[in-house]
């Protein structure tokens, strides 16, 4: 049976929001932990678009055994399960992505983290093996009724300044928004796949030992390159390559229907049929959990919209997942903000209500 979850970012992982999730019918939480720590450095680097999603602080105590244990406990206390953590802190693994001098030390950190998650009982680690990360989106009244949402419209792509990866600053000393201290040099797609294969070779055996599944999110937005750096999974067939590198239950997917729908056949060999893609990958048993999101358009021009007004028939998407016995967690991904006193909550509640109704309907059929 498919399970309903809600993704919550670090600073909104509150008891009140756990109750909100429960009230909307969710049984699971996905905790997005990066950049949640409000240190002095974070304050210094926030407030400017060039700093992207802000400062990634390696010393956030949530990444310790006690931190993760207490997080899980507070979620369990609200009668919810912690389904997954989402995303490594960029400050913890930038040289794994960049193939830099701290790579081996950082891989050791990740191994320890997975063991810690195993001890605490957190079954999934969602991540995104990406240099540019989520970047370049604009926002506007793109969804029904003029609801505020995000989109992508082929922006100019300045190179990434040193000290930044995944759209977050990890080194305040060298980061300069204008790139005066240098930018990340160009490298090839194959080089990126080599870095990724090395990561999987090193980490998947540890994930198996720890009982924690690795769940890779595709590149959002799924452009072949972004800011002069290659992207790993920007076509549906790239997921197959990910699965084949390490054929293990513990090497899985954070299956983002929105991002998959944004993928353009113009950049690959697929036919662009999202239902084929959902069918093919849900048959593998390697989907750890689903990002449930709908869009209009494909890269390099698309808008994120409400779940029931995008290009994908989301009822059909759920029907295919059920047919293939997917029994994991689905969370609403980004949702349009609705015009009221609680724009974020209303957007999530709308998506959760839709999902709950369709899942219930399919269970009855």
CA distance 226 to 187: 12
For residue 185, the surrounding DSSP H or E stretch is none
Rule CB under 5 A: choose which of 131, 150, 256, 257 binds Mn ion.
256
Q: Toward Mn ion, which CB reaches closer, 60 or 220?
A: 220
- Nearest CA-CA partner of 311 in 319, 320, 303: 303
Contact between 32 and Mn ion per CB under 5 A: no
To the nearest whole angstrom, how small is the minimum distance from the Cβ of residue 142 to Mn ion? 17
**291 part of the interface to Mn ion, by CB under 5 A:** yes
Q: Which is nearest to 356 in space by CA: 21, 17, 8?
A: 21
Shortest distance, position 7 Cβ to Mn ion, whole Å:
9
Size of the site for Mn ion (CB under 5 A): 3
Residue among 184 and 223 whose Cβ is closer to Mn ion = 223
Q: With CB under 5 A as the contact rule, which of the stretches 6-14, 37-45, 187-195, 289-297 interacts with Mn ion?
A: 289-297
Contact 361, 345 (CB under 8 A): no
Handedness of CA 267, 300, 331, 169 (dihedral sign): positive
Taking every pair of Cα atoms in the chain, the longest distance, rounded to a whole number of angstroms, is 61
Q: 184 or 233: whose CB is closer to Mn ion? A: 233
- CB under 5 A: which stretch of 117-125, 163-171, 248-256, 267-275 binds Mn ion? 248-256
x/- binding map, residues 318-357, to Mn ion, per CB under 5 A? ---------------x------------------------
Indicate the residue among 57 and 333 with the shorter CB distance to Mn ion: 333
Closest contact distance (angstroms) between CB of 119 and Mn ion is 28
Return the structure tokens found at 149: 């949402």
Cα end-to-end span (Å), the chain? 13
Site string for Mn ion, 174-193 (x = CB under 5 A): --------------------
Per-position x/- string for 108-127, each x denoting binding to Mn ion as judged by CB under 5 A, each - no binding: --------------------
Q: Smallest distance from the beta carbon of 69 to Mn ion, in angstroms?
A: 27
In angstroms, give the least distance from the CB of 97 to Mn ion. Answer: 18
> Does 86 interact with Mn ion (rule: CB under 5 A)?
no
Q: Which is nearer to Mn ion, 219 or 333 (CB)?
A: 333
Q: Looking at beta carbons only, is 8 or 256 nearer to Mn ion?
A: 256
Question: H/E element holding 77?
Answer: helix 65-77
Shortest Cβ distance from residue 84 to Mn ion (Å)? 12
Residues 30 and 348: their CA atoms lie apart, in Å, by 14
Sign of the CA dihedral running 115, 116, 121, 126: negative
> CB burial class (10 A; 0-12, 13-18, 19+) of residue 282?
buried
Q: Interaction with Mn ion in 133-172: which residues (CB under 5 A)?
A: none
8-27: contacts with Mn ion (CB under 5 A):
none
Smallest separation (angstroms) from Mn ion to the CB of 255:
9
Q: Contact, 118 vs 85, CB < 8 A? A: no
DSSP tally for the chain: helices H, then strands E: 11, 16
Contact at 8 Å (CB) between 179 and 191? no
Find the part of the chain contacting Mn ion (CB under 5 A) among 48-56, 117-125, 195-203, 285-293.
285-293
Containing 95, the helix (H) or strand (E) segment is helix 90-98
Residues 297-316 that bind Mn ion (CB under 5 A): none
Selected range binding Mn ion among 134-142, 254-262, 298-306, 343-351, rule: CB under 5 A: 254-262
Whole-Å CA distances, 157 to 57, 221, 228: 26, 13, 7
Q: Which spans of this chain sit near Mn ion (rule: CB under 5 A)?
A: 256, 291, 333
């Amino acid at each position: 049976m498919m399970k309903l979850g809600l993704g919550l970012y670090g600073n909104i992982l509150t008891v009140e929001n756990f109750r909100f999730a429960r009230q909307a019918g969710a049984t699971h939480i996905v905790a997005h932990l990066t950049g949640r720590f409000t240190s002095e450095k974070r304050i210094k680097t926030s407030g400017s678009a060039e700093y992207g999603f802000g400062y990634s602080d390696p010393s956030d105590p949530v990444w310790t055994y006690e931190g993760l244990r207490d997080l899980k406990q507070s979620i369990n206390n609200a009668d919810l399960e912690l389904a997954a953590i989402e995303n490594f802190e960029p400050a913890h693994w930038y040289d794994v992505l960049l193939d830099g001098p701290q790579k081996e030390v950082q891989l050791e950190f990740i191994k320890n983290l997975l063991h810690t998650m195993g001890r605490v009982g957190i079954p999934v680690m969602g991540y995104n093996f990406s240099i540019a990360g989520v970047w370049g989106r604009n926002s506007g009244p793109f969804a029904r009724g003029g609801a505020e949402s995000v989109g992508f419209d082929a922006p100019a792509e300045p190179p990434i300044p040193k000290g930044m990866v995944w759209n977050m600053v990890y080194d305040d000393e060298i980061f300069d928004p204008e790139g005066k201290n240098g930018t990340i040099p160009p490298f090839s797609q194959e080089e990126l796949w080599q870095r990724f294969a090395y990561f999987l070779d090193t980490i998947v055996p540890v994930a198996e030992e720890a009982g924690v599944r690795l769940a890779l999110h595709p590149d959002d937005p799924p452009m072949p390159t972004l800011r002069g750096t290659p992207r790993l999974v920007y076509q549906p067939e790239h997921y197959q390559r990910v699965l084949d590198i390490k054929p293990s239950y513990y090497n899985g997917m954070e299956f983002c229907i929105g991002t998959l729908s944004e993928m353009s056949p113009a950049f690959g060999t697929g036919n662009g049929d999202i239902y084929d893609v959902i069918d093919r990958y849900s048959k593998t048993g390697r989907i750890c959990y689903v990002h449930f999101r709908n869009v209009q358009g494909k890269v390099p021009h698309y808008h994120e919209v409400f779940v029931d007004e995008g290009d994908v028939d989301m009822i059909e998407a759920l029907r295919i997942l059920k047919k293939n016995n997917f029994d994991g967690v689905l969370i609403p991904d980004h949702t349009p903000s609705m015009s009221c006193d609680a724009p974020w909550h209303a957007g999530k509640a709308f998506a959760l209500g839709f999902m709950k109704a369709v899942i219930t309907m399919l269970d009855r059929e």
